[in-house]
Amino acid sequence: MCVFLNTDGAVHYVSAFSAAGGVICNSKGKWILGYNRIFGKSWWSKKTSK
């Protein structure tokens, strides 16, 4: 059995609250499981170019 895991996450620029979620589908694209999680306030860094 082959499954695909699709995930995504986001951080709000001002409040720094973050969340993530995703789905697991079989090889035919049929949904098996979905999930989400709110992490709350997070620390993140911004890459700067030289």
The rounded distance, in Å, linking the Cα atoms of 45 and 34 is 28
Asked if 29 and 38 touch (Cβ cutoff 8 Å), the reply is: no
Residue 50 in any domain: the answer is no
Asked if 44 and 35 touch (Cβ cutoff 8 Å), the reply is: no
Residue 46 in any domain: the answer is no
pTM: 0.66
Domain membership of residue 32 as a residue range: 3-41
- Give the pLDDT score at 12: 87
Residue 15 in any domain: the answer is yes
Asked if 18 and 11 touch (Cβ cutoff 8 Å), the reply is: yes
Number of domains, the chain: 1
pLDDT, one tens digit per residue, over 1-50 is: 899 999 999 988 888 899 999 999 999 999 999 999 999 887 766 666 66
